[in-house]
Amino acid sequence: MSDLAVATAGLTKRFGHQVAVDSVYLTVPAGSVYGFLGPNGSGKTTTIRMLLGLIRAHAGTVELLGQPMPQRAVEVLHRVGSLVEGPAFHPYLSGRANLARLDAADVLAEPRTAGQRIDAALDRVGLLAAATKRYRAYSLGMRQRLAIAAALLQPRDLLVLDEPTNGLDPQGTREVRALVASLAGDGATVLVSSHLLAEVEQMCSHVGVMRTGALVVQGRLEELRAQGIARCVVRTDQPDTAADVLRELGLTEVATTADGAAGQPGQIAPEKIVAALVHAGVGVAEFTVRTPSLEDLFVALTGEGFDVSG
């Protein structure tokens, strides 16, 4: 399991008679950006809390960075940065002072480099200019970014971020997306729990989808997309003729649309379809092959919708 930053086997958590997490086998490849997705109440945060040793599982095992948890928590957790269930800081202290307190509580942190590391973390999340402002005066987005800065006070091999873009404006969201990319570029593994599909689609190389406590699918994003059924769409003022050509070629689920025709091409090459349309005298204004979106995939897997862009 050395190639996995996070690995669970049969991970299970119950609250009374309710099973919140049901035998989850999570595999997060080292160096990946893993999007951990699912509707509210699907068990994402409970799973994350078990990963970090904040709550104990009723069954199953957890490994972080190749080490069993919680048995090796002391050796492992200093290599892990996390943001879980929103930030909590002293309201009367500045952003910099809050980070200084956290850093001082870390027995492995070098006091002589504290100021340099704190400023570097603040700068990385865009808060250096607001470092002396009291936390209670921070906006929700600034508080979220300060929590991410706290996770970056030391070099980390694994970052676990629960809804890291919560409360951020579009610019702040872009900055967090760039930050996640840079962390992965530096060799860290990033596990991002989110309900914003557009963000996950732009950030993540791998995804896992939770539904009612179960992990229904996981894998490389491109491979999961490929499991969906592509559909080609031709825009033309001859929809009936275009539909006939698509059927003759062997496309399935062919139908006319308001401004053309569409069908499922299967293994038929797009250039062959366009050539047949032109040969039949169909004026092709536009031809596209649409693969299922992340939203389509997750609705099919969970039976529920997701926020697409927040």
What is the per-residue pLDDT across 279-300, written as a single tens digit (0 to 9) for each? 999 999 999 998 777 777 777 6
Q: Which CATH architecture does the domain made up of 4-226 adopt?
A: 3-Layer(aba) Sandwich (3.40)
Nearest residue to 190 via CA among 165, 167, 225, 222: 165
Predicted local confidence at residue 241, as pLDDT: 95
Percent of the chain surpassing pLDDT 70:
95
More confident position, 57 or 178: 57
Predicted local confidence at residue 301, as pLDDT: 65
CA-CA distance, 201 to 14, in Å (whole number)? 31
Strand partners, 94: 134
pLDDT tens by residue, 141-153: 888 889 989 999 9
Mean pLDDT of the chain: 88
Q: What is the pTM of this model?
A: 0.78
Answer yes or no: is pLDDT of 277 > 70: yes
The band of 238, judged by pLDDT with boundaries at 50, 70 and 90, is: very high
Q: Which CATH architecture does the domain made up of 231-290 adopt?
A: 2-Layer Sandwich (3.30)
Q: What are the sequence ranges of the domains in the chain? A: 4-226, 231-290
- Cα–chain center distance at 62: 20
The band of 175, judged by pLDDT with boundaries at 50, 70 and 90, is: confident
Answer yes or no: is pLDDT of 267 > 60: yes
Predicted local confidence at residue 200, as pLDDT: 81
pLDDT tens by residue, 6-26: 999 999 999 999 999 999 999
* Lowest model confidence (mean pLDDT) among 66-80, 122-136, 193-207: 193-207
- Helix (H, G, I), strand (E, B), or coil: what is residue 17? coil
Answer yes or no: is pLDDT of 204 > 80: yes
Average pLDDT over residues 189-215: 87
Predicted local confidence at residue 303, as pLDDT: 61
- Helix (H, G, I), strand (E, B), or coil: what is residue 131? coil
Predicted local confidence at residue 308, as pLDDT: 42
How do beta strands 206-211 and 189-193 pair? unpaired
Answer yes or no: is pLDDT of 242 > 90: yes
CA-CA distance, 172 to 142, in Å (whole number)? 9
CA-CA distance, 9 to 26, in Å (whole number)? 7
∠ CA 240-243-246, nearest 5°, is 155
